[in-house]
Amino acid sequence: MTYSSKHLYHIDAPKDKVFNAISTIEGLANWWTVQTNGTASLGGEIQFDFGEIKGPKMKVIESMPGKEIVWECIDSQHGWVGNTFTFLLDENDGKTRVRFSHDGFPAQDDFYAICNFSWGRYMESLRQYCQTGKGEAFGSEGYR
């Protein structure tokens, strides 16, 4: 049995803008970590680093413009290899509804709790980036 970290929330921005933020290197670098490199298109690989810490490498395994992005972790120092990360977008009440999940945790332990908390923080950074043009990506001026 594996566990998932899930988040559902709304962004007051068009779906295309939100999709751009989760499907391009520039977009990702503005809300998750400024140290984002690689190719964000279908089949591409994206490396996310956090200062001196080598972060996960993701492969884009599904991409439906304006609707969905799915990554599979292919390299990680933190046990995420094989985990999947899904962003589903739809329109609800004139806003973009985001359903995010990180699937593949072996237990709901302290590491799960840390990741779940951090994902919530980064989902808010994504919302701020899409709504105001300024997120709180790791390594950015606004990061706290």
Q: Residue 122's domain spans which residues?
A: 3-132
CATH number of the domain bearing residue 46: 3.30.530.20
The confidence score (pLDDT) of residue 141 equals: 86
User: What is the number of domains present in the chain?
Assistant: 1
| Cα-Cα-Cα-Cα dihedral sign, residues 140, 64, 131, 122 | negative
0.85 exceeded by pTM: yes
The confidence score (pLDDT) of residue 143 equals: 76
- Single-letter amino acid code for the residue at 134: K
The confidence score (pLDDT) of residue 142 equals: 73
The confidence score (pLDDT) of residue 82 equals: 98
16 falls within a domain: yes
Low-confidence residues of the chain: pLDDT under 70: 144
140 falls within a domain: no
Beta strands in 1-144 (DSSP E): 3-11, 35-38, 45-49, 57-64, 68-75, 84-92, 95-105
